[in-house]
Amino acid sequence: MPTTARWAATLTLTATAVCGPLLGSAHAAPSLGPSGLYAPSALVLTMGHGNSAATVTPERAVTLNCAPTASGTHPAATQACAELRGAGGDLDALTVRDGAVCTKQFDPVVVTVDGVWQGKRVSYERTFANECVKNSYGMTVFTF
C-alpha cells in the first residue's frame, strides 16, 4: 500500500475513532471539545512486518478510545487504557515485562500509533525484532 493510501486510511480510522461514524445528518451533535469534561484520547494502532512504517503494509489495525471510558476494537481496551494512563501516555515508557522470553529470530515488526492522547496529537512508530518482542513490551497496549 503506498504511503499516501496508508496515511489516508489511518486518518480515516482516527477521525472515526474520535468523531464517530458519519450518520448522514446535516446537524452535528454538540461536542464537549477541549473545555469539556474529558480531553479526547483516541488512537489507531497498526502492525506490519518490515523495517519501517514507510515501507510496511499494515497487517492489523485497531482503535483504542480511553476517554471517557475504554472502548474500541483493541482486544483488551480497558487494560490497554489503564496501562497507558499509568505510563502518562508515554509509549516509550512501556518496557519489557518481567519474565518475557523470546527467540533472537530477526523478523522485524513495525507498530504505529496515531491519534490524540488527552487532547495532544500522537504520532509514534517503533520497530521490534519480532512479534514476540512486540508483545512483551508492556502488558496489553501492543498485543493486538
pLDDT for the residue 38: 73
Please give the Cα distance from 43 to 62 (Å, whole number): 8
Q: Which CATH class is domain 3-18+37-136?
A: alpha beta
* pTM exceeds 0.85: no
User: In the predicted model, what is the mean pLDDT of residues 48-64?
Assistant: 95
State pLDDT tens for residues 9-42. Answer: 554 544 444 445 433 334 444 444 444 577 899 9
| Residue 45 in this model has a pLDDT that exceeds 80 | yes
C-alpha cell of residue 14: 482516527
Q: Can the peptide bond before residue 68 be classed as cis, meaning omega within 30 degrees of 0?
A: yes
Give the domain ranges of the chain: 3-18+37-136
User: Mean pLDDT, the chain, as a whole number?
Assistant: 82
- pLDDT range class, residue 99, cuts 50, 70, 90: confident
User: In the predicted model, what is the mean pLDDT of residues 106-111?
Assistant: 97
pLDDT for the residue 36: 58
Kindly list the distances between the CA atom of residue 110 and the CA atoms of 11, 28, 36, 70, 140, in Å, as whole numbers in the listed order: 18, 36, 34, 24, 16
